[in-house]
Structure 1
């Protein structure tokens, strides 16, 4: 399928995002720059074909009902992609962000030690907020990873979509995806 060609090229270029929009070539975001992946102009039928290929039947139903859907798409052997399929100007568009398989450590993403201290607390809630592409999901994944490697806890995450997949180590982790495992964040 052509989407796998686009995703392979994206990873080869070390791109963070892939944009598929009618009337434009596939575009990759490389170091904040938007770079075309060739000169082929995408059509609505081609993007629709890609969307239908990467969505499961429940996602197709949700897309039909809500005209947009967020989910994680796994390209075996390459990684996971946070995927947003939506309608713009009456046509389907797709944006996919690369999510590495490996969950980062605090050291790898330069997290301050104060956050490590927060992760050792017995109780509480931590809110992580920020602009798009500011590292919210990566920060939370590193926090869960740190707790999982150092403490015996029960961790429940509610995500939309699940990006990083955590394996139980010292902790038990339940990852719930909005729209699949639970109806909402509330």
Structure 2
């Protein structure tokens, strides 16, 4: 069983209202019915919890491509879950709309895609989990992929880097320069960058400015002052963020 208000949504949605107009209509329903929006969000939290319990790296739902099922990638293999409810197109749209801000929705409707990160309290006695989401149009419907952001940082020495390389990444020895961290999706670029930031944060005094789209791991300032600026939320673009950072005593 999916969302309890699904039949009410179907009744209120004419068949000829499609695409962005349909998404806006469902979003308006959620705004006018707080309990509907809460239920949609709580259902999404249950999916996040199942994702964590299954040790899945990714979760997909929505659009026509999923056949109403929730799909998980577990140890590299992506397959549909047989234990979760099926969600039709309207229910998937409602769950997606329940977590997006007004600015994010406007961006999505204009660009047909939005990449973002969010924190979610899964268990009351545990710190929030962070997820990276990508919402996109698929055959005039909304689909989404969520990827869990690693809660634990790798130590720089666990990455297999040689001592000369680690030394070059240490702000105690290097005060300027450009380093490129490259690789395919899921190869560990963000984990490597976070390990470099973490090493310097606990070892050297300084100011580190992180510009991300989106910001994934949130660092707590220790010996370094850590500033997080997310594209769209805190700064207009990477270019603007870099220029701004020169005036922020990096």
- Calculate the TM-score normalised by the size of structure 1: 0.92
How many residue pairs are counted as aligned between the two chains? 186
- Give the match for residue 151 of structure 2: 101
Please say if 1:82 is aligned against 2:135.
no
Give the distance between the partners of 1:114 and 1:30, measured in 2 at CA.
36
More helix by share: 2
C-alpha displacement of 1:123: 0.9
- Give the match for residue 211 of structure 2: 158
- Give the match for residue 51 of structure 2: 10
Once the two structures are superposed, the pairs formed by residues 32-47 of structure 1 within 5 Å of their partners are: 32-38=76-82, 40-47=85-92
Give the distance between the partners of 1:164 and 1:142, measured in 2 at CA.
11
Give the distance between the partners of 1:2 and 1:63, measured in 2 at CA.
22
Please say if 1:20 is aligned against 2:64.
no
Q: Given the superposition, is the C-alpha separation of residues 125 and 51 from structure 1 closer, same or farther in structure 2, using an over 3 Å criterion?
A: same
* Structure 1 residue ranges without an equivalent (≥5): none
C-alpha displacement of 1:110: 3.8
RMSD value, Cα: 1.6
- Give the match for residue 73 of structure 2: 29
- Calculate the TM-score normalised by the size of structure 2: 0.70
C-alpha displacement of 1:144: 0.5
* Structure 2 residue ranges without an equivalent (≥5): 1-41, 122-126, 240-250
